[in-house]
Chain A
Amino acid sequence: MLSSNKYEEEFPALKRKINGHRLVYLDNAATTLRPKRVMEAVSEYSLNHHANVHRSTHTLASEATQMYESSRQKLADFINAKKEEIIFTKGTTESINLLAYSLAISNMIQPGEEILITTMEHHSNFVPWQQIGKLFNIKIKYFPVKKGIFEPDDYFNYITSKTKVISITGISNVTGQVIPINLIVEKARKIRNNVIIIVDGAQYIPHFSVDVKSLDIDFLAFSGHKMLGPTGIGVLYGKKEYLEQMSPFLFGGEMIDKVSMEDTTFTILPFKFEAGTPNVDGSVGLAKAVELLQQIGMNNINQHDKMLTKYALEKMKNLDFLEIYGPQDEFQSSIVSFNMKGIHPHDVAHLLNDIAGVAIRSGHHCAQPMMNELGVKATCRVSFYVYNQKDDIDILIYGLKKVWEWLK
């Protein structure tokens, strides 16, 4: 890990004062703070190398193309994929929409086959499938994550020979429960070898080292802005053999082979899925963010998150005015959701900010089906990342006690 004063240099927002208090940023599951080097890389590209990619032959166009493609290579190496298996998107939501539509219009789901999702998913891995099901008359099966805890053995009963697609998150964005993806892949492939396995990696990728080949998943979606990158850039990884069979989802420039009045043929991977001028700035920033994560070390990040989560759970369990959700064991990573008894999460979040400079999330976390499973309308959520330290949690605990004193 970097030492904490190095983090202050790298992340200028950490030096901000909120109502006279040092900023304690605990909303990392929503988005992470920006490192200087990432924004400097974006700025350097934008100011000195920017041109449209894959088209003109002049110097700037050549530099821009090389930077875009080397960003793609960096992302491919990061998850052990091939370069042509990395499709740049706006983020996880676009990645899953692209995937859902493309699978449907490419007739890769036959009549009678099903898509299996769960009630713990973020809306981005829930609504696209639900709507695809309605539009294309495909059966969507929902695995109920009872009381907000995912039980693998119950889940396996929902996988049958009819299951064509499984889409599941790697970590619950509400409870922080880590889902045993390797176990799911192993069991699912035994039931149906060619089941298409999709992982929503928005929360998982920032915290765990992922090797898509050894994990043997077919698709992986994630966002740059939850892993120190800019907003508006994300990735869809797909196994080459699937991507080749699939029809493009967006049509236009950049993705064609030959266009005539009668018809159009499409270009090769990954470009057939990247219609229009891409977000080169974002890709450069994301590649820089990946470099920083690799420098810190994904295993170090994982250990650090675990240590903070354990520490936070220990401290928070001592506060009898809190109700904590999720497994509260070693399978909970970097996220703790809770409610203060009888107090609305918005009031807790607002007061924590103003009393102690602590930034947390309050609301339904874009996961209303999961809120129903937990039997609540909304929760407070704290989430940790590389730059958080134990004293951030001490300040959180101090703030929570103050809020309770005020509002109880």
Chain B
Amino acid sequence: MVKIGIEDLYSDIILDYAKNNKYKKEIPASQKAEGKNLSCGDEITIFLKVDNGKIVEASYLGHGCIISQASAAMMCEIIEGKTVEEAEKILNEVIKMSQGKEYDNDLIDGLEVFSDISKFPMRIKCFTLSWHTLEEAINNQD
């Protein structure tokens, strides 16, 4: 088994996304959902502007560790411009990846920097918080 170092989890790409505030904002009058990690108190709100089945804008607000913040920022970047159906497919693959299962690499363009997250069992929930919250936001249609 290849040994996964902490350098891979805290890589420059991930640190950059965690510090990037481009997607850290509220979108007024949008579909939204709040997510919480009860064990650590981290909270996140996901905002989606959906028009005709397409996610035209995505953003998040909240506080959490580098892993959770980078994951949220990358998620917003990837799902913007996708249809809700496409976003749901990506979501499924991402969850599979977080569980160490086989997944479709083509669908999760860019997220492979987190491909070894399943090797850090205590941090999986940091990574998946925004994705689980996305699922709720998608379901929270008016």
Residues of B within 8 Å of A355, CB to CB, are: 6
Would you call A363 and B40 a contact (CB within 8 A)? yes
Would you call A377 and B6 a contact (CB within 8 A)? no
Pick the most buried of A19, A343, A347, A362: most chain B CB atoms within 10 A of its CB. Answer: A347
Partner among A347, A363, A371 whose Cβ is within 8 Å of the Cβ of B66: A347
Over the window 100-142 of chain B, the binary record of Cβ atoms lying under 8 Å from chain A Cβ atoms (1 yes, 0 no) is: 0000000000000000000010110010000000000000000
A83 at the interface (CB under 8 A from B): no
Assembly CA distance A343 to B123 (angstroms): 16
Q: Say yes or no: A344-B41 contact (C-beta < 8 A), given A350-B6, A406-B10.
A: no
Q: What total of chain B residues lie within 8 Å of the partner, measured CB to CB?
A: 18
Q: Say yes or no: A344-B66 contact (C-beta < 8 A), given A351-B10, A354-B6.
A: yes
Q: Which residues of A contact B (CB under 8 A)?
A: 19, 343-347, 350-351, 354-355, 362-364, 368, 371, 377-378, 406-407
Pairs across A and B, CB under 8 Å, 19 listed: A344-B63, A344-B64, A346-B123, A350-B6, A350-B120, A350-B122, A350-B123, A351-B6, A354-B5, A354-B6, A362-B40, A363-B39, A363-B40, A363-B41, A377-B41, A377-B42, A378-B40, A378-B41, A407-B10
Assembly CA distance A40 to B39 (angstroms): 33
Main secondary structure of the interface of B (DSSP, over half): mixed
Would you call B10 and A346 a contact (CB within 8 A)? no
Would you call A344 and B65 a contact (CB within 8 A)? yes
B13 at the interface (CB under 8 A from A): no
Number of A-B contacts (CB under 8 A): 44
Residues of B within 8 Å of A362, CB to CB, are: 40
Residues of A within 8 Å of B39, CB to CB, are: 363
Assembly CA distance A19 to B67 (angstroms): 20
Residues of A within 8 Å of B126, CB to CB, are: 346
Assembly CA distance A354 to B40 (angstroms): 20
What is the CB-to-nearest-CB distance from A219 to chain B, in angstroms, rounded to a whole number?
Answer: 30
Assembly CA distance A407 to B65 (angstroms): 11
Assembly CA distance A37 to B126 (angstroms): 38
Assembly CA distance A344 to B42 (angstroms): 10
* Chain B residue with Cβ nearest A355: B6
Would you call A407 and B6 a contact (CB within 8 A)? no
Chain B 35-51 residues near chain A, CB threshold 8 A:
39-42
What is the CB-to-nearest-CB distance from A339 to chain B, in angstroms, rounded to a whole number?
Answer: 12
Would you call B122 and A364 a contact (CB within 8 A)? no
Residues of A within 8 Å of B64, CB to CB, are: 344, 346
Residues of B within 8 Å of A354, CB to CB, are: 5-6
Residues of B within 8 Å of A406, CB to CB, are: 10
Would you call B10 and A364 a contact (CB within 8 A)? no
Assembly CA distance A406 to B66 (angstroms): 12
Residues of B within 8 Å of A377, CB to CB, are: 41-42, 63
What is the CB-to-nearest-CB distance from B55 to chain A, in angstroms, rounded to a whole number?
Answer: 27
Assembly CA distance A368 to B38 (angstroms): 11
What is the CB-to-nearest-CB distance from B16 to chain A, in angstroms, rounded to a whole number?
Answer: 12
Assembly CA distance A345 to B120 (angstroms): 16
Would you call B40 and A347 a contact (CB within 8 A)? no
What is the CB-to-nearest-CB distance from A374 to chain B, in angstroms, rounded to a whole number?
Answer: 13
* Chain B residue with Cβ nearest A368: B41
Assembly CA distance A345 to B42 (angstroms): 11
Assembly CA distance A350 to B67 (angstroms): 11
Assembly CA distance A344 to B67 (angstroms): 10
Q: Say yes or no: A346-B65 contact (C-beta < 8 A), given A377-B41, A407-B10.
A: yes
Knowing that A344-B64, A346-B64 touch, tell me 20 more A-B residue pairs with CB under 8 angstroms: A343-B66, A344-B63, A344-B65, A344-B66, A345-B65, A346-B67, A346-B123, A347-B66, A350-B9, A350-B120, A351-B6, A351-B10, A354-B6, A355-B6, A362-B40, A364-B40, A364-B41, A377-B63, A378-B41, A406-B10
